[in-house]
Amino acid sequence: MRLAIKLAIRNLIGAGLRTWLNVIVLSFSFVVIIWIKGVMAGWDHQAKKDMSDFEIGSGQYWHSGYDPYDPFSLLDNHAPVPEGFRAGVAEGSIEPELIVQGTLYPGGRLQSVIIRGIDPDQKILKIPTGKLDAATDAIPAVIGSIMAKNLKASAGDRIMLRWRDAHGTFDATDIVIEGIFSSNVPSAEAGQIYIPLERLRKMMSMPGEATLFTFSSSFSPETAPEGWVLRTRKELTSSIDEMIKMKSTGQSILYGVLLLLAMLAIFDTQVLSIFRRQKEIGTYIALGYTRHQVVGLFTVEGTMYAVLAAILSAAYGLPFLTWQARAGWSIPIDTSEFGIAMAKTLYPVYSAGLVVTTVLAVMIVTAVVSYWPSRRIAKMSPTDALRGKLQ
């Protein structure tokens, strides 16, 4: 094996430019695959963190009838704070939210919104709810940047809000935008306004009621009380997993094209080597090599392209990937309308597992592609090969 590697290196270096072209193409594949996979891992990490920070905390308890995709059912699905949550609510490890439907009239336009009542003193979510503790004749409200863009509103603006209370009676008054936050989580921003919980309970004639509870990492989730359903962080972020999985499947086509180009070059080189080096093959067999050992020699030689490519990738890829991890990749289009948690700048995250599996996968594919044309050697007649007769 050691001899085979020694011979392979000598032959590869001897081949000159042809070897380096193969190695450069393959190294490019290495870097691009690791970078894209890193971006995906970074997106996954950032999206889940942002969701936890701005929407779901460490998990939630939902009212059993709560369906975030059916705003018409919101008025029917709320209940008083269960006895088991009262201590957690008092110490701030679990926060109630009351969610109802309303209509905003920015400049005479009509826009349906979800009104979320939240405690101004809550510490679980990074929404600037402290700004809701404002002295104003209107209802103090905090909105996300996506919502502000849709409403064409800025801090200090007053907008008419209309809603219906628990009995279905219309009520309307102004809200004043006390703060605008940016979260990268469209579901926490688009079509949502945040107002003080107690104010909303009073507006709706729903004292002590909640639609869901968000808990912090210090809260130990137990079996949900009757009428409530526990939603773990894993369940609540499953949409991100599905999105990443779908994107990764799409990107594997790109990996396939990159690898195909590299493998085509290696395959061609191997076929040419076997054709041009028949005398050498005959000599090996005359010296006592079995046919399979010669096949192994050529396979190792082919696989060495991947090894050299990995070394070359490390030379220019490491600085590039490190710089990307720090500077991030800014998406050249507006992602706020995508409806998925996605920052404008994604910071790739590379794990040892990601790098090792990518390198191993490329090496295995290269070995297979190198072995494939080398099988012809096993069918060669050694005497004809020694004479240099074309076979």
Question: Can residue 165 be called a binding residue for other proteins (CB under 8 A)?
Answer: yes
Count the site residues for other proteins by CB under 8 A: 19
| Interacting span for other proteins (CB under 8 A) from 116-124, 163-171, 333-341, 352-360 | 163-171
Strand partners, 181: 144
Q: Which residues contact 348 (CB under 8 A, 6 or more apart)?
A: 35, 38, 39, 41, 42, 321, 324, 325, 328, 329
Question: Can residue 152 be called a binding residue for other proteins (CB under 8 A)?
Answer: no
| Residue from 49, 149, 158, 162 in contact with other proteins (CB under 8 A) | 162
Question: Can residue 10 be called a binding residue for other proteins (CB under 8 A)?
Answer: no
Strand 192-196 relative to strand 59-63, pairing = unpaired
Question: Can residue 109 be called a binding residue for other proteins (CB under 8 A)?
Answer: yes
Question: What is the Cα–Cα distance from 129 to 120, expressed in whole angstroms?
Answer: 5
Nearer to other proteins, 17 or 110 (CB): 110
| Residue from 67, 121, 171, 235 in contact with other proteins (CB under 8 A) | 171
Q: Which amino acid is at 54?
A: F
| Interacting span for other proteins (CB under 8 A) from 55-63, 101-109, 269-277, 298-306 | 101-109
Sign of CA dihedral 236, 240, 243, 245: negative
Looking up tokens 């949550």 gives 85
Q: Which residues contact 389 (CB under 8 A, 6 or more apart)?
A: 278
Nearer to other proteins, 75 or 340 (CB): 75
Q: How far is the CB of 94 from other proteins (least distance, A)?
A: 29
Instruction: Supply the DSSP symbol for 219.
Output: S
| Residue from 83, 135, 156, 167 in contact with other proteins (CB under 8 A) | 167
Q: How far is the CB of 72 from other proteins (least distance, A)?
A: 4
Query: Which 48-87 residues touch other proteins, going by CB under 8 A?
Result: 72-73, 75
> DSSP secondary structure string, 309-351?
HHHHHHHHHHHHHHHHHHH-EE-SS--GGGSS---SEE-----
Binding site for other proteins (CB under 8 A): 72-73, 75, 105, 107-110, 160, 162, 164-165, 167-173
